[in-house]
Structure 1
């Protein structure tokens, strides 16, 4: 019995460091959880505080871009595209809705419609805004809203003057019945453009420049016929 007691005593004393370690681990875990919660609350509060300003700046940037892609306009109106392909004037928030922006000159005459479109580029999704002039069925401006293309190469889609010039009068004519685009937009190799519906590509940024052509071709194929068909809706909203 005495031997057993002597053996048992060291075991009882050995639990003290273990208890101390457990207490220390618990305190550390509580501290880490507390710090995590504090960081999460800070992130949420910062987001909530800056979100309205970010949205306002985005809206202002978009408005400026509309004026760039539709030269000659002095006022704009937002229209929602309906399920049947038609359009109606939108008075409220455009978030989550498919919209286009009609532009008017000083006399209140409809100049054209600005359209947002997006597609896969070399690095990521490219978002653009282009202006479509209904009078002669031409794209008269293109602006890159968002791009992560390679600096010095892919970003030439928004910086290269020759490339941007492609969109001063890019033909998007329709068939006689107005149901389809006559010649889909096509990006060709630099220096090989011969037709009014072709885009002169950028040497060294082939994928990025081709992506712009693909985005425009896909967007205009479905939207241009609808814009022309319902252009009276936009004209009726003109204000002299």
Structure 2
């Protein structure tokens, strides 16, 4: 009886000690990599901005109500538009979208998917150029609409076959992001 109790206590002690060591190592690695992760996220955002807006030469970040708005400039600080990072729930997880609009916030210049964990081969097709190109030059004064078949009206995009949830999620995130950007820019202009 004493031996089994002693054995159980030893197992508990060893497992607890091993768990604590692993927890400390994991915490150390996470904290030491946090700055590099933030730096890489920022690089991804800037790469996406320059990919969407060809004539953008300079980007200035501005914090407004805890949100970041990216002001896009041509040469000699001529404002050409804004970019904004919006996120929401997709089919399997979070989707982050960066989109750019013209300086009057009336026309969408394009979108770029920054992060998604959608189903490979289905929902992950939101990253394909054919899907993203549908968003170029859409109006921002009316919501973008996702349809299953070929778009028949203005501001419609065709959903990806077998990935309508992911397609609709992108459109929903975009529409909410456009409204947020409009209110942030309006507030900044006061």
Shorter-chain TM-score range: 0.7 to 0.9
Distance 2:102 2:26 in 1: 44
Distance 1:219 1:46 in 2: 33
Deviation at 1:212?
Answer: 1.5
Whether 1:58 aligns to 2:16 is no
Deviation at 1:62?
Answer: 1.6
Residue 77 of structure 2 aligns to a residue whose secondary structure is: coil
Query: Aligned match of 1:168 in 118, 121, 136?
Result: 136
Give the aligned partner of residue 28 of structure 1. 11
Residue 167 of structure 1 aligns to a residue whose secondary structure is: coil
Q: TM-score, normalised by structure 2?
A: 0.88
Deviation at 1:203?
Answer: 2.4
Assess, with a 3 A threshold, how the Cα gap between structure 1 residues 28 and 230 changes in structure 2: closer, same or farther: closer
Deviation at 1:71?
Answer: 2.6
What RMSD in Å do the two structures reach over aligned CA positions? 2.1
Unaligned 5+ segments in structure 2 are none
Give the aligned partner of residue 200 of structure 1. 158
Deviation at 1:232?
Answer: 5.9
Tell whether the 8 Å contact from 1:111 to 1:133 is kept in structure 2 after alignment.
yes
Assess, with a 3 A threshold, how the Cα gap between structure 1 residues 127 and 136 changes in structure 2: closer, same or farther: closer
Deviation at 1:151?
Answer: 1.1
Assess, with a 3 A threshold, how the Cα gap between structure 1 residues 31 and 132 changes in structure 2: closer, same or farther: same
Matches within 5 A, 1:1-150: 18-82=1-65, 97-135=66-104, 137-150=106-119
Give the aligned partner of residue 189 of structure 1. 148
Query: Aligned match of 2:173 in 198, 210, 215?
Result: 215
Assess, with a 3 A threshold, how the Cα gap between structure 1 residues 121 and 107 changes in structure 2: closer, same or farther: same
Distance 2:162 2:4 in 1: 61
Tell whether the 8 Å contact from 1:147 to 1:155 is kept in structure 2 after alignment.
yes
Q: TM-score, normalised by structure 1?
A: 0.71
Deviation at 1:222?
Answer: 4.1
Tell whether the 8 Å contact from 2:64 to 2:188 is kept in structure 1 after alignment.
no
The structure with the largest alpha-carbon Rg is 1
